[in-house]
Amino acid sequence: MPESYEVFDPNKLPKGIFISSGTASNIKKYQGSNLVNLYSNDITGADQNKLLAQFEGFSPDYRKSLAQKLKAAGYYRGDVTGKASLKLQDAYFKAYEDLDFSNRGRLTAYTSDPNQAYNVQLDDLDTFLSKQDTSGEGGSEKITKIQQQRNLSPDSIEASIDKVFRDLTGSGATKAQIAKYTKNIQKQLADPKNFAQTEYKAMGGGVQRQIVTEAAFNPEAFLIEEVSKGDPAKASSVMGFYEVFNKFLGRG
């Protein structure tokens, strides 16, 4: 009688375990005159404690090389040195989390059919980072980022300025105040650090992750803060009204 083998399920692994690399296989083999399923896997896993111990044990030269790879893949934005900085450690952990997500997804795709013959070669960190390389030297899977700049018409900005002044002071803004704050708002809207951003990251195995970062600048909040510097209580009250109103309109 055919012997039964349970298929490896990556979802049953403890949450703290990272799948770093390995090969999973499900093949048929004769036992006497019977054809049976034979499942085996060689999965290399590492939890956060092991990763931290590895990171702390790296040589300066290897950390420098790791920093270059993480930077090319979009995970690290600091200086490329041999120092074991917290920023580099965080980037190392984040890359392993994404590698884990990719490898689990590739394995999970095969868990529904225990009789299906397959071989899955999982990525290790070096292979995964090369696929995410944005420098043009690392493979076909890229990270695409789309920045979205918000533009407001002068009439719209003027109306917002006038409304905030009326809500806070009881009277409309003067021409000089409108000119001043219009210039400030337009400058903030044109600053790339205040752009909204959508990032599309290929995770491997046909999986793509979309990461949305909201715009960091809110003209109304900026105006309320600037106009009400002498009256924080009133600013808090007006800001609360705007938040409730925006939620009612479905903006937040």
CA-closest candidate to residue 142, choices 215, 185, 199, 227: 199
Residues 6 or more apart in contact with residue 83 via CB below 8 angstroms: 60, 63
CB 35 within 8 A of CB 28: yes
Mean pLDDT of all residues in 22-38? 68
Question: Given the DSSP bridges, would you call strands 34-47 and 17-31 parallel, antiparallel or unpaired?
Answer: antiparallel
Sheet holding 143-148, edge to edge: 143-148, 196-204, 207-213
**Res. 89 pLDDT band, cuts 50 70 90:** very high
Return the amino acid letter for 52.
Answer: L
DSSP H or E run through 97: helix 86-108
**DSSP reduced 3-state for 221:** helix
- pLDDT at residue 22 tops 90: no
Distance between CA atoms of residues 200 and 226, nearest Å: 36
Mean pLDDT of all residues in 110-134? 70
pTM check: above 0.75: no
- pLDDT at residue 97 tops 60: yes
The 10s digit of each residue's pLDDT in 33-43 is: 666 666 667 78
Contacts by 62-66, CB closer than 8 A, 24 or more apart? 63/88, 66/92
The reported pLDDT for the residue numbered 88 is 93
Q: Which of 13-17, 63-67, 199-203 has the lowest mean pLDDT?
A: 199-203
CA-closest candidate to residue 128, choices 20, 16, 13, 15: 20
The reported pLDDT for the residue numbered 239 is 52
Sheet holding 118-122, edge to edge: 34-47, 17-31, 118-122
Residues 6 or more apart in contact with residue 23 via CB below 8 angstroms: 41, 42, 119, 120, 121, 122
**Res. 66 pLDDT band, cuts 50 70 90:** very high
Distance between CA atoms of residues 232 and 52, nearest Å: 45
The reported pLDDT for the residue numbered 141 is 46
CB 213 within 8 A of CB 199: yes
Return the amino acid letter for 152.
Answer: L
The 10s digit of each residue's pLDDT in 123-179 is: 889 888 888 776 554 444 455 778 788 888 888 889 888 888 888 777 888 899 889
The reported pLDDT for the residue numbered 149 is 83
What are the strands, taking DSSP E only, across 135-206?
143-148, 196-204
Q: Which of 11-15, 42-46, 135-139, 236-240 has the lowest mean pLDDT?
A: 135-139
CA-closest candidate to residue 139, choices 69, 56, 36: 69
The reported pLDDT for the residue numbered 12 is 73
The reported pLDDT for the residue numbered 240 is 54
Return the amino acid letter for 24.
Answer: A
As a whole number of Å, the end-to-end CA separation of the chain is 62
CB 141 within 8 A of CB 189: no
Q: Is 225 exposed, middle or buried (0-12, 13-18, 19+ CB in 10 A)?
A: middle
The residue ranking higher by pLDDT, 14 or 185, is 185
